[in-house]
Amino acid sequence: MPETAHIAVPIALDKEFDYSVPAGLKIKKGMRVLVDFNGRKRVGLVVDLSARSKFKNLKPVIEALDSEPSLSKEHMQFALSLSRMYPYPKAEFLFMMLPSYLRKAKKISLSQNLPQAGEKEKTAPQKNLFIKADSFLERYRLWKPVVEEKLKTGSALVCFPQLSYLEAARQVLEKDFASHLKVIHSQIKEKDFFNTWRQSRVNSLILGTRVSIFHYPYDLGLIVVEEENSPYYFQEEKPYHNLLDVAFLLARFKDSALILSSDFPSLSAYKLIRDKEMILRDNSSPGKNIKVIGASEYSKKKVVSPVLIELLRKNIQAKKSSVVLWNKKGFGRFIRCSACGHIFKCSHCSGFLRLSLKSSEGVCPYCQKKEALPKICPHCKKGYLKNSGWGIERIEGILRKEFPEAKINTWESRGPESKIILSTSKILSFLYGKETFDSGYVLDTDHFLARADYEAAFDTFLYLKKLCFFFKEELCVFTGNGQYYLFKYLNKDWKEFYEAEMGFREKLNLPPFGIIVKITLRAKDKNNLLKQAQYLYNKLEEKKYQVYGPLEEEPFKLRDKFRYSLVIKAPRSFALRKAIKEDLKKLRVSAQMAVSLK
C-alpha cells in the first residue's frame, strides 16, 4: 500500500517533493492533487507512488483534484526527455501538457472523465518526410491522403506557425475533415480550450499553433509541421523550446509519421535531408527570376528612387498592379531637432521615440510608454522637432503625390482596383495562391541584410523567395550591396545557396552543425552589469567553453535595465548540452538554449 506520493510542482526546480497519502484517499500516478507547498496551496502532479520516503515529517496531500489521471505515464517520460533536451525542469513541461484550466485547483468530477489512454499499437518506425512545394494548397494536396489514412485508426496533428495562417488553412480543411477537426491555440478561452482538449483525445484532427504539440491525442499517428521554416516555431520565453525538436521527439515516442512541409526547408531540415534521415519530396517550381537593382542604378540615399517611380509608372500605364514592400510600420521612425540634430530617446529604453500622429506624443517602440514632447528642442533651444526616418506611410505619401490619378492603398485597405499596394512583410501571413499581384518591389533588402547575426543572409533568402510566389510578372529588389554572396545565388537552383550556406556554417561550427547558447544578463547598473558579464565570461572560459561577448543586446537598455549577452558555441552533443546546463545552474544563470533539431 503506497503511503508516499512523489509530486511535481510547477516551479523552476528540478525536483519532486514527497507527501504522505492520507488513508482512504484514492491516488494514482498522473493525477492532480492539492498540496501545501512552502506554506501555500498549490496544484501538484503525482509522478510516482512508493511505500516510503527519504524524508520524515511529510505533509499530507490535501485532496485529489482528479478522479482519474489527467496525464499518462507516457506524458511523464515525454516531459523527462524534454527536460533533458532543454535547461528547464520536467515539472514545467508536465504542466504545459495540462490545459490552463487544469493548472488551477479545479476539481474534475467522474462525469468529466477523459477517454482512457489505451496502449497504442506498436508500428514500425516511419521515415520522416519533407514536402517541398510553393503554396499551402499544393502541399496540402500532397499530405491530405496521409491524414485521411491516419484518421482511420487514430489522430493527426497539424501545426501552424501563426494564428492567421492557421485560420486561413482551417477554412480549407473544414471542407474535407469537418467531423474530425479541432482547433487548439493559446488565444482560446480557458474553458473552451479545456472542452476542446477533452474532446480531442482520440480520433481527431487537431489544427494548432506551437502549444498544440503539448496537447497531442493519445492515438497520434501523424504530425505535420506546416511552414516548417518559420521563426515562430521557436518560443523565446521560458521554457524556451523549438517546436521542431519537440515534434521529432514526440514522433519517436508515438511511432508517428512526421511530415515537415514548406516552400523551402530550414537549414536544420536540409541537413537531415542531406544526411538521408529524411526523404525529400520536391514538388516546387524552379521559381521566377528575382531582379536585383544595384547601387549603380539608383541612389542609396533615396528610398523612393527614380528607377522605382519609372517602374511603377510603366505598370500603371499597363493597368498592372504593383506591391511596394517596406518592412517598417508608421510614418516616421524617430524625432529629430531641425537645428542641432538631436534625436529623442525613451527615458527607460535605448530606443528612439516615435511620433504618434494622433496624440503628438513620443512613443517608445520597445516599452510602448508615451512621453510628452517639448515644442522647442531643449538641447539647442533653437530647433523645432521634426518627424524623421522612413516608415511605410511616408513612402505612401510620396507615391500619392507622384501618382495622384492612381488608386494607392495599404495592404489592409487593398481592393481589386488597387494599382499600388504598400505592405510590410505581413503579406506573407496570407496564403499564397488565393491572391496574386503583377509585380513587387522590395526597397529595404539592405535592412534585412544589415542584421548583425549569422542568420541574416538565410532569412533574407527565404523572405525574397517567399515573396516571389505572390507575383505573376516580376519581383525587383533594391540593394546597395549587389556583390553580396546572397545575390549570386538568388536565381540559381535553391540547393546551390543551401550548399554555400552549409559550407560556411560547418566551417564556423554554427547551427545546424554546432549549437549556440545565448545568455542574457540584465541590470539597472550598467558598469556593475558589465563587470558581472565579464566575470561570467571568465568563468565559462575557465571551463573551456568557446565564449563570445559581452555583447550589447538590441535594445541595449529595456525598461530601465541594461542588457549584455554572452554566447557559447559548442559542438552538437547531448552530453555537452547537459554539461552546459549544469554549469550554468551552478553559476546561477538561466540561459536560452537556441536552435537545434534532433
In the complex with DNA, the residue whose CB is nearer, 40 or 507, is: 40
The position carrying cell 539647442 is 380
If phi > 0 it is left, if psi is from -120 to 50 it is alpha, else beta; for residue 319 that is left
**Contact window for DNA (CB under 7 A) among 51-59, 265-273, 352-360, 498-506:** 51-59
Does residue 104 belong to the site contacting DNA (CB under 7 A)?
A: no
Quick one: which of 24, 38, 119, 452 contacts DNA (CB under 7 A)?
38
Q: How far is the CB of 409 from DNA (least distance, A)?
A: 46
Quick one: which of 25, 34, 49, 58 contacts DNA (CB under 7 A)?
58
* CA-atom Rg of the chain in angstroms: 27
In the complex with DNA, the residue whose CB is nearer, 57 or 179, is: 57
Residue 243 burial class via C-beta count within 10 angstroms: exposed 0-12, middle 13-18, buried 19 and up: buried
Quick one: which of 104, 127, 302, 524 contacts DNA (CB under 7 A)?
524
Please give the backbone phi and psi of residue 347, each rounded to the nearest 5 degrees, phi first.
-80, -10
Q: How far is the CB of 560 from DNA (least distance, A)?
A: 10
CA dist 79 and 22 (Å) reads 28
Does residue 14 belong to the site contacting DNA (CB under 7 A)?
A: no
In the complex with DNA, the residue whose CB is nearer, 5 or 597, is: 5
Q: How far is the CB of 523 from DNA (least distance, A)?
A: 8
CA dist 362 and 359 (Å) reads 9
Quick one: which of 23, 24, 40, 574 contacts DNA (CB under 7 A)?
40
Q: How far is the CB of 238 from DNA (least distance, A)?
A: 7
Does residue 396 belong to the site contacting DNA (CB under 7 A)?
A: no
Does residue 55 belong to the site contacting DNA (CB under 7 A)?
A: yes
Check the CA dihedral 193-196-200-201 and report its sign: positive
The SS3 of residue 585 is helix
Does residue 329 belong to the site contacting DNA (CB under 7 A)?
A: no
Quick one: which of 3, 36, 48, 402 contacts DNA (CB under 7 A)?
36
Does residue 11 belong to the site contacting DNA (CB under 7 A)?
A: yes
Q: How far is the CB of 366 from DNA (least distance, A)?
A: 20
In the complex with DNA, the residue whose CB is nearer, 62 or 295, is: 62
**Contact window for DNA (CB under 7 A) among 31-39, 173-181, 417-425, 513-521:** 31-39
Helix (H) or strand (E) holding 306: helix 306-317
The position carrying cell 492520507 is 22
Interface with DNA: number of residues (CB under 7 A): 19
In the complex with DNA, the residue whose CB is nearer, 23 or 575, is: 23
CA dist 188 and 197 (Å) reads 11
Q: How many C-beta atoms surround the C-beta of residue 51 within 10 A?
A: 8
| DSSP code per residue over 443-508 | S-HHHHHTSSSTTHHHHHHHHHHHHHTTEEEEEEEE-S-TTSHHHHHTTS-HHHHHHHHHHHHHHT
CA dist 343 and 332 (Å) reads 12
**Contact window for DNA (CB under 7 A) among 5-13, 120-128, 187-195, 514-522:** 5-13
* DSSP strand pairing (63-64 vs 241-242): unpaired
Quick one: which of 29, 53, 409, 530 contacts DNA (CB under 7 A)?
53
CA dist 384 and 407 (Å) reads 34
Q: How far is the CB of 20 from DNA (least distance, A)?
A: 7
223: cell is: 504530425
- Please name the residues in contact with 347: beta carbons below 8 A apart, sequence gap of 6 or more: 371
Q: How many C-beta atoms surround the C-beta of residue 71 within 10 A?
A: 24
**Contact window for DNA (CB under 7 A) among 13-21, 162-170, 250-258, 563-571:** 13-21
Does residue 535 belong to the site contacting DNA (CB under 7 A)?
A: no
Does residue 37 belong to the site contacting DNA (CB under 7 A)?
A: yes
In the complex with DNA, the residue whose CB is nearer, 18 or 226, is: 18
Quick one: which of 8, 18, 549, 577 contacts DNA (CB under 7 A)?
18
Please give the backbone phi and psi of residue 269, each rounded to the nearest 5 degrees, phi first.
-65, -40
Footprint on this chain of DNA (rule: CB under 7 A)? 11-13, 15, 17-19, 36-40, 53, 55, 57-59, 524, 590
